[in-house]
Amino acid sequence: MAGMELVSDQGYRIDGRKPSELRRIRCNMGVFTQADGSAYIEQGNTKVLAAIYGPHEASNNMRNRVCLDRGFVNCEFSQATFSSAERKKRSRGDRKGRDISAHIKQTFEAAIRTSLYPRSQIDIYLQVLHSDGSLYCACVNAATLALIDAGIAMKDYVCACSASLTKGSSLIDINHVEELAGCAEFSASILPKLDQIIYSELNGRIHQDELGLLVDAVSTGCRDIFAVIDQFVRSRLAETASYFTHS
């Protein structure tokens, strides 16, 4: 894929987007009945389901992770064997899966008010149905919605977005093809209303001066994602609340 033009001379990307344009986001909350909270998000072709169980008493194999003064987050990331272009042999437990699980756990331990749930465990399960780049980001956004659905106290929303750098300009919400191009990739999670970065990761090599550009691009992207999610949550809230007032 090296040498491929990520942005055309006219300023459009391979899938026809502008460099600072997100893919279409569609989401839903409460898609499952058995989990304590669940959500679904689509960012372009990347489709992720999230389920939350808990807070509950620590399961037997997690006993050593119990904290007396706060709750802990247990996260597992699974990717359906049919989700990627090439069929995967294993759906979870591979290096990439463990990596993403660890990052999501870290992200949400910073965002959940864990001190309200002493000695408890909160499970975040993520299932990728279709993977087309920015998996970590879609997972974080799905988990945020699922945590809201589960009624778990959070400091703020968590919104995540990725960005890449080509020829000195930034591209946000990168898809699978753009990931393959091998440019530097930066992803971050922010608390949009408190304006704090709680997770950031950079793969690849960039010039130090360009980092600011990427951080700006990602924060703008996160804010745009926040606007979409916020609108959805508010309309759902109003809908749910209207059942209470009429009955």
Partner 1 sequence: VMCDQTMCIPGERLCSSEQYQAGRGTYVRHGSVFATLAGRVERRKESGDNLLLIHVQSVHSQQLVPEIGAIVICKITQLSSSYAKCKILSVRGSYLNTSFRGMIRKEDVRSTNRDKVEIYKSFRPGDVVVAKVLSLGDASCYLLSTAENELGVVIALSENGDAMIPLSHDQMQCPKSLIKENRKVARPQSDYLSF
Partner 2 sequence: MAKVILGDSEKWFIIHGIQDDLRNDGRSCDDYRHIEVETGVISNTHGSSRLRLGNTEVMVGVKVELGTPDPHSPNDGLIHFHVDCSPNADPSFQGRGGEELSSNISCILTRIFNNKTAIDLSTLGIIPHKQCWVVHVDVLILECGGNLFDAVSVAVKASLHNTGIPNIQVTDGDEGTQEISLPDDPNDVKFINTNNCPLLVTISKAGSRHIVDATADEESCCNASLVVGVTRRGRTMGMRKMGEGSLDPESIPEMIETGKNIGRQLHIALDKLLKVEQGMANDIEKVGYL
Residue with smaller CB distance to partner 2, 132 or 183? 132
Integer Cα distance of 31 and 50 in angstroms: 9
Tell me the C-alpha to C-alpha distance, in Å, between residue 230 and each of 38, 102, 128, 152, 225. 16, 26, 22, 17, 8
Q: Which stretch binds partner 2 (CB under 8 A): 3-11, 35-43, 203-211, 218-226?
A: 35-43
- What does 83 interact with, of partner 1, partner 2, none (CB < 5 to 8 A by kind)? partner 2
The kind and range of the H/E element at 97 are helix 95-111
Residue with smaller CB distance to partner 1, 6 or 111? 111
Q: Which stretch binds partner 2 (CB under 8 A): 1-9, 79-87, 106-114, 163-171?
A: 79-87
- What does 148 interact with, of partner 1, partner 2, none (CB < 5 to 8 A by kind)? partner 1
For residue 66, the one-letter residue type is V
Strand order in the sheet with 169-172: 169-172, 159-166, 185-191, 196-203
Nearest-approach distance from CB 187 to partner 2, in angstroms: 22
CB 190 within 8 A of CB 144: no
Q: Considering the rule CB under 8 A, would residue 4 count as an interface residue with partner 1? A: no
Nearest-approach distance from CB 128 to partner 1, in angstroms: 24
Residue with smaller CB distance to partner 1, 154 or 211? 154
Residue with smaller CB distance to partner 2, 87 or 246? 87
- Backbone φ and ψ of 225, nearest 5°: -65, -40
